[in-house]
A and B are shown apart, each in its own frame.
Chain A
Amino acid sequence: MAQEQKQPRKSGEEQETTEVAPETDVAERKEALDDDVDAILDEIDDVLETNAEDFVKSFIQKGGE
């Protein structure tokens, strides 16, 4: 997408890099962020009790205090 948009303005090399840089930056950061979220969710997937429905049903406490 970014490549196509840049086509008509091939004239200034400098302009091109300044235009592209932030976009790549944001994309990279977003990707890093997504990876980050995926990493923590993967880790938590590994430790979550397996049958959520059964677990929730059987988690019954008596009142206290």
Chain B
Amino acid sequence: MIRIKCPYCGERDHSEFTYGSDASIEYPNLESNAKDWTEAIFFRKNIYGKQIETWHHTNGCRLWLIIERCTITHKIFSIKPAHPEIHKLLKNQNNI
């Protein structure tokens, strides 16, 4: 069981979350062409080792999170909300 420390809810089983994908993918503008979109949607670095990825706390606060995790050992190095404003907000709150 991977245990994920949700910045909002606290530490939970990974089964509460939905794995998204590689968070390093930069999605092109909606106006961009099919070639750029094809690369972004269909092709993956598929990192062996530490990667930055998205998870969604589906059965919890429903935040999308950015997690740094090793894909070999599943060890987690960092977790933050994907949305920078929410990240800021929770950071401030936790400091109080």
A-B complex is real: no
Q: Please give the residue numbers on chain A whose beta carbons come within 8 Å of chain B beta carbons, in ascending order.
A: none
| Chain B residues in the interface with A (C-beta under 8 A) | none
